[in-house]
């Protein structure tokens, strides 16, 4: 490498000119200044900053600022083929979105979508699910908020706001999921058998159901892992105002508010005087958490085995 550079410098010097090769060679009467961009210095070529969700893998960016652009982005991903990565930047709040009864981003496999947009909302405008994640799809919410059909607007939904189907993966890293009034198990997030939901940040708030799991419902063989964020002000007509678990649940951080919290934050289960599980309820073992489970409270349900010191209080 050193010999090659020396030869190039001498050759350029004889010509008394300017040479641009692997870098930029500037020749003047008194000095030769060599600036090499991307030259191997023994540490390899410089790398671009890795994306927070995709690392150094390639991805396509789509910008959404209207309902038409949201629908176009969905169609682009649906028609884009398998094994593709996408970032959807929500630059303006989008209202009037039609709920999905099928997979939101099509039926391809190996699809990964990161939804981004600080303080922007995707708002459901009909019955149905706003984000449905099928097998082979991963959806990450990072900043943007998902809003359903709330009872204060005179509406009622018939579906969870987010549905994670078997083989699907959903992550809430930042942003909100809320405002859905639906008589289904899991008005906010419904994790079906074989689905995976990870919550590392953000908020699940103000979802209401007449059944179980106002905020989150985890079916048999579904998995919910919580390491951060807040689950608050959700209501279930039966059990698990915040979370109802039949599958696997691991909490190592974040806060699930209980009946001892302020009215603006507490989750509520309303099945009568003997109601259990305002914060969390595990029907199969009759374990519950009524009071607030803060970041230091660890809770675990794996294959029907309940562990952690925070239960039944």
> Can you tell me the distance from the alpha carbon of 222 to that of 142, in angstroms, rounded to the nearest whole number?
22
Query: Does residue 41 carry a pLDDT above 50?
Result: no
Cross-strand pairs, 204: 177, 231
pLDDT digits (tens, 9 = 90+) for 206-230: 999 999 999 999 999 999 999 999 9
Query: Does residue 45 carry a pLDDT above 70?
Result: no
* Least confident window among 8-17, 100-109, 203-212, 224-233: 8-17
> Can you tell me the distance from the alpha carbon of 255 to that of 242, in angstroms, rounded to the nearest whole number?
10
Tell me the whole-structure pTM to 2 decimals. Answer: 0.84
Confidence of residue 156 (pLDDT cuts 50, 70, 90): confident
Q: Which of 254, 212, 253, 201 is nearest to 234 (CA)?
A: 212
Model pLDDT, residue 1: 44
Query: Does residue 231 carry a pLDDT above 80?
Result: yes
Q: Quick one: how far is CA 127 from the chain centroid?
A: 22
Angle subtended at Cα 140 by Cα 135 and Cα 143, rounded to the nearest 5 degrees: 155
155 compared with 38, residue with greater pLDDT:
155
Model pLDDT, residue 4: 41
> Can you tell me the distance from the alpha carbon of 148 to that of 206, in angstroms, rounded to the nearest whole number?
10
Query: Does residue 287 carry a pLDDT above 50?
Result: yes
């Amino acid at each position: 490498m050193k010999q090659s550079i020396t030869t190039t410098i001498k050759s350029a010097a004889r010509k008394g000119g300017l040479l641009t090769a692997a870098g930029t060679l500037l020749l003047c009467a008194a000095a030769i200044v060599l600036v090499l961009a991307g030259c191997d210095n023994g540490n390899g070529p410089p790398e671009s900053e890795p994306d927070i969700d995709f690392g150094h893998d390639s991805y396509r960016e789509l910008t959404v600022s209207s309902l038409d652009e949201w629908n176009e982005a969905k169609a682009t991903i649906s028609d884009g083929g398998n094994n593709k990565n996408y970032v959807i930047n929500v630059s303006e709040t989008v209202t009037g979105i039609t709920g999905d009864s099928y997979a939101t981003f099509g039926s391809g496999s190996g699809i990964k979508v990161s939804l981004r947009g600080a303080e922007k909302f995707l708002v459901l405008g009909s019955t149905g699910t706003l984000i449905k994640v099928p097998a082979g799809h991963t959806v990450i919410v990072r900043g943007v908020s998902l809003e359903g059909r709330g009872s204060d607007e005179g509406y009622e939904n018939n579906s969870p706001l987010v549905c994670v189907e078997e083989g699907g993966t959903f992550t809430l890293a930042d942003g909100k999921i809320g405002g859905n009034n639906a008589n289904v198990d899991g008005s906010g997030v419904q994790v079906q058998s074989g689905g995976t939901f990870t919550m590392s940040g953000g908020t699940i708030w103000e979802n209401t159901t007449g059944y179980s799991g106002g905020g989150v419902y985890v079916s048999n063989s579904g998995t919910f892992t919580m390491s951060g964020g807040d689950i608050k002000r959700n209501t279930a007509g039966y059990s698990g105002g915040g979370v109802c678990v039949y599958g696997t649940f691991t909490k190592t951080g974040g806060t699930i508010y209980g009946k001892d919290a302020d009215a603006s934050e507490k989750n509520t289960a309303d099945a009568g005087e003997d109601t259990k599980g305002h914060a969390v309820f595990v029907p199969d073992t009759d374990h519950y958490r009524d009071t607030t489970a803060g970041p230091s409270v660890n809770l675990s349900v794996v294959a029907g085995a309940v562990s952690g010191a925070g239960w039944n209080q």
